[in-house]
Amino acid sequence: MAVFPFRRRALLSFAVAAVSAVTACGGALRTESAAQVSPVVDSQPARQQPCMVNGLSCDLRMRITTVDNYLRTRPGVVGYVVRDRVSGGSYANGNANAPIWTASTIKLATAADLLTRNRSGALHLSGGDYADIDRMLHTSDDDAADRLWFAYAGPDHLAFNNAFRGFGMTGLVPQAGFTRFYPYWGFQKCSAADLDRLMTHVLTGLHPDDRNYLVTRMRTVDANQQWGVWGAGPAQRPGLKDGWSEEQGGWVVNSVGFVGPGERYTLAIMNSLNGQGQFKDGAATDTQVAKLLFNGLS
């Protein structure tokens, strides 16, 4: 409220009494005469700080609780990690470190490594190689992934796996006994926490041009990959790499990607059905997780 000096002496005692009342309520006032008090008008309303818990908004935390309750009703073992790259907060559920077949999610790591080595001059990607990277990301083409893996895995076949550890996939373990070419992209296990760190590396550790190349392709995947993180909804501009296959032990249906303006949020989901369901069941679970977390999130 503005304070105006009164000219009439008869009103001065009223002003002094009002000042005394404010002081009694805890107001801090300088000792100056009424004539020295200038009008003050607060035209800027106080900003309300967003509710945050452990670096995540209260809205997102409530959504996480809903997701955890939902997953108790779903078949198999689902590990997931959600991260807010602006606040630095993250949440990993109880299965986030469970080793699960990577399926085709490892193709994202393969693409990131090829782009990194190409930029450093360690290899020189051809036009055909770039076309295979596009196919590998757009439709999850296995033949394209094979051509790239066999061409650039190195004489000891370890070039890719050694690089993946540097991308944060410290829990990645190639599985022996399934193919003579070992390690091979198609037979590896990691956790949702590994995919979370991989996604962070893609968004923050690559050259900006390579990052943008991958982000664009992850946002424009074919219809066969428009589930999982895609469930966040078009308003959130999701991008992803999915992985699905029937492995030893049953179907695995995984999804890793980003959501929101500036790719603010990342989500990694690994879903091992353990013989308790089919692809459609796993895809429905992953999609609903993303929908519950992000659809309508401001």
Q: Is the Cβ–Cβ distance between 252 and 100 less than 8 Å?
A: yes
Residue 13: pLDDT band by 50, 70, 90 thresholds?
very low
For 3, 20, 33, the CA distances from 7, given in Å and listed in that order, are 13, 19, 13
pLDDT of residue 103: 98
Sign of the Cα pseudo-torsion (248, 94, 290, 172, in order): negative
127 φ, ψ (degrees, to nearest 5): -60, -35
Domains identified in the chain and CATH numbers? 58-294 (3.40.710.10)
Residue reference for tokens 């949702």: 192
pLDDT of residue 2: 42
Q: How far is residue 25's CA from residue 106's CA, in Å, rounded to a whole number?
A: 64
Mean pLDDT value of segment 263-269: 98
141 φ, ψ (degrees, to nearest 5): -65, 120
**pLDDT tens, 106-121?**
999 999 999 999 999 9
Residue 3: pLDDT band by 50, 70, 90 thresholds?
very low
Q: How far is residue 173's CA from residue 183's CA, in Å, rounded to a whole number?
A: 9
Residue 173: pLDDT band by 50, 70, 90 thresholds?
very high
**Range scoring the smallest mean pLDDT among 34-43, 106-115, 140-149, 154-163:** 34-43
**Strand 56-57 relative to strand 52-53: parallel, antiparallel, unpaired?**
antiparallel
pLDDT at 158 over 80: yes
pLDDT at 19 over 50: no
Mean pLDDT value of segment 142-148: 98
Both tokens assigned to 28: 């801090």
Percent of the chain with pLDDT over 90: 81
Give the total residue count for the chain: 298
Q: How far is residue 63's CA from residue 274's CA, in Å, rounded to a whole number?
A: 26
Q: Is the Cβ–Cβ distance between 100 and 272 less than 8 Å?
A: yes
Residue 49: pLDDT band by 50, 70, 90 thresholds?
low
pLDDT of residue 25: 37
